[in-house]
């Protein structure tokens, strides 16, 4: 009996250290005596203790911030640009065997690509073509990280920080543009009002008695004012006759 217990204890000491649980979102990369052996899928797994070594790799999509990078644009403007990269491990053995730290390697290369790509655009293009720049960065980084078993799913530029003097210049330009548009709108309104007045005057002149009616309406408005007034009305025929004599 003591011998049996000793055997059971030895077996447990061998098996228990070799028990591994691989989560659904992980893959286990097993090295046997330092050499790649196999990849373990999710579930209850057993490896040989002291001989096998397993490294877990998260295969979920992982967002990674790219720190702010100082970039000199093609038109010699210094800006600070940062971005976010979404990547996922698609080949766990490559991610473990081809680089010491696949996340750090991806981040470092993405920073370089961010500086290189944005430096080939003018400032106006960087501000207006974010999606195009993001696609170019993703293509460059994805081509490099493919050999590490990493898939770059997306890259998004986040903040583009301009120099203070550039911000002030752009603010003045925007204010001048708003004032220009306001002046154009005001001029168009005055033009439309003048056209309406001219059209109304023409219609009154063509309508018999129209001017008399308009005159009476004007007198009615004036009469509401309590101040004293002296109004002299002349018939249209008399004014026409006076006009002819003067001419």
The set of residues, in sequence order, having a beta carbon less than 8 Å from that of 143 and lying 6+ positions away, is none
CA 59 to CA 56: how far, in whole Å? 10
- What is the per-residue pLDDT for 220? 57
Q: Give one DSSP letter per residue of 194-233, joined into a string.
A: HHHHHHHHHHHHHSTTHHHHHHHHHHHHHHTS-S------
Partners of residue 81 on adjacent β-strands? 69, 160
Token pair in block for residue 201: 């005057």
Q: Average pLDDT by consecutive 10-residue portion of the chain (247 residues)?
A: 76 79 94 93 89 93 92 88 94 93 94 93 88 93 94 92 68 66 77 72 62 58 58 51 47
CA 114 to CA 82: how far, in whole Å? 8
CA 146 to CA 141: how far, in whole Å? 8
Of the candidates 113, 112, 88, 102, which has an alpha carbon nearest to the alpha carbon of residue 148?
102
- What is the per-residue pLDDT for 11? 74
Q: What is the pLDDT of residues 153-192, one digit of tens each?
A: 999 998 888 877 665 666 566 666 677 777 788 778 777 7
- What is the per-residue pLDDT for 241? 44
- What is the per-residue pLDDT for 13? 74
């Amino acid at each position: 009996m003591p011998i049996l217990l000793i055997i059971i204890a030895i077996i447990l000491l061998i098996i228990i250290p070799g028990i591994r649980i691989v989560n659904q979102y992980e893959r286990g990369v097993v090295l046997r005596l330092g050499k790649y052996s196999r990849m373990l899928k999710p579930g209850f797994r057993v490896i040989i203790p002291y001989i096998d070594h397993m490294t877990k790799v998260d295969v979920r999509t992982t967002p990674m911030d790219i720190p702010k990078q100082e970039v000199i644009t093609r038109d010699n403007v210094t800006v600070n640009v940062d971005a976010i990269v979404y990547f996922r491990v698609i080949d766990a053995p490559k991610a473990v065997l081809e680089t010491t730290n696949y996340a750090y390697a991806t981040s470092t290369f993405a920073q370089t690509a961010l500086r290189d790509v944005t430096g080939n655009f003018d400032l106006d293009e960087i501000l207006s073509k974010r999606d195009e720049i993001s696609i170019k960065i993703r293509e460059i980084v994805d081509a490099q990280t493919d050999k590490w078993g990493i898939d770059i799913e997306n890259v998004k530029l986040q903040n583009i920080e301009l120099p203070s003097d550039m911000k002030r210049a752009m603010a003045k330009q925007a204010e001048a543009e708003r004032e220009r548009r306001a002046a154009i709108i005001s001029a168009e309104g005055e033009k439309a009002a003048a056209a309406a007045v001219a059209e109304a005057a023409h219609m009154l002149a063509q309508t018999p008695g129209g001017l008399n009616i308009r005159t009476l309406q004007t007198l009615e408005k004036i009469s509401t004012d309590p101040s004293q007034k002296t109004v002299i009305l002349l018939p249209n025929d008399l004014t026409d006759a006076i006009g002819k004599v003067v001419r």
